[in-house]
């Protein structure tokens, strides 16, 4: 990365870090995925019960397998061969986990987390249930404000995820949100988390790489 671009990015991440800390989050800034994994391992104690929220940041960058290899109990929604009923049971058990590891669709410079869910299990657990929530986010998830967050989530992340999931929705044809009423619509629960009411429950690891959608 160009040194001037790196300087600009570091300044932005520091501003976001301060905003998140003001909103009761613990925040780490790391250089890359490998440093993020080390940070994750240092945070999670042995024998903890850990679950995942749906996230391409976790899937594409080896976080799932990394956690599986830790000395923890994994509520593994990504385990091969699970039935929809078994996955649903894991979703419910997640509310009693020690840690939920996930990402956020957007993070504003004011320190707000913005997420859009299909079933709502990820957003719900981010709000309440697990003792701690760890959010892994590349710098590309950072936006200026809630207006930019809404545009990013509805017109970028949602169409890409709908396409990834092979959903029959208008956005997979035109590439932007059409605010449809399709039975296969994935954007059903739009959640803004302004702050964590319990200090330290939310942990955000900001990664100086472009990750996820």
Domain boundaries, the chain: 3-142+188-207
pTM: predicted TM-score of the whole model, two decimal places: 0.95
User: Can you say how many angstroms the Cα of residue 88 is from the centroid of all Cα atoms in its chain?
Assistant: 19
Pick the CATH number of 3-142+188-207 from 3.30.1490.20, 3.40.190.170, 3.40.50.150, 3.40.50.10420: 3.40.50.10420
pLDDT in tens, 82-112: 999 999 999 999 999 999 999 999 999 999 9
pLDDT in tens, 109-167: 999 999 999 999 999 999 999 999 999 999 999 999 999 999 999 999 999 999 998 99
Is residue 205 within 8 Å of 28, Cβ to Cβ?
Answer: yes
- Report the share of the chain in percent with pLDDT over 90: 96
Q: Is the pLDDT of residue 1 over 90?
A: no
- CA angle, 37 as apex, 191 and 98 as ends, to 5°? 55
Using the structure block, give the residue that is written with the tokens 């929809």.
Answer: 84
Is residue 202 within 8 Å of 135, Cβ to Cβ?
Answer: yes
- CA 160 to each of CA 52, 138, 150, 182: distance values in angstroms, whole numbers, following the listed order: 20, 17, 15, 16
What gap in Å lies between CA 36 and CA 211, rounded to an integer? Answer: 12
């Amino acid at each position: 990365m160009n040194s001037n671009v790196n300087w600009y990015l570091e300044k932005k991440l520091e501003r976001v870090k301060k905003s998140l800390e003001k909103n009761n989050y613990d925040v780490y800034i790391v250089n890359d995925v490998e440093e993020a994994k080390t940070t994750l391992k240092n945070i999670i104690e042995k024998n903890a019960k850990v679950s995942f929220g749906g996230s391409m940041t976790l899937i594409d960058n080896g976080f799932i397998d990394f956690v599986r290899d830790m000395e923890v109990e994994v509520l593994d929604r990504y385990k091969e061969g699970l039935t929809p009923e078994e996955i649903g049971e894991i979703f419910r058990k997640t509310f009693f986990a020690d840690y939920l590891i996930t990402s956020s669709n957007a993070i504003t410079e004011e320190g707000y987390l913005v997420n859009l869910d299909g079933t709502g299990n990820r957003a719900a657990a981010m709000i309440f249930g697990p003792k701690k929530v760890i959010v892994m986010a590349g710098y590309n998830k950072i936006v200026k404000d809630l207006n930019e967050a809404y545009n990013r989530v509805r017109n970028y992340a949602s169409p890409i995820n709908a396409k990834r999931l092979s959903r029959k929705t208008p956005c997979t044809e035109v590439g932007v949100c059409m605010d449809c009423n399709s039975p296969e619509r994935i954007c059903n629960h739009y959640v803004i988390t302004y702050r964590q009411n319990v200090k330290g429950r939310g942990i955000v690891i900001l990664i100086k790489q472009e990750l996820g959608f």
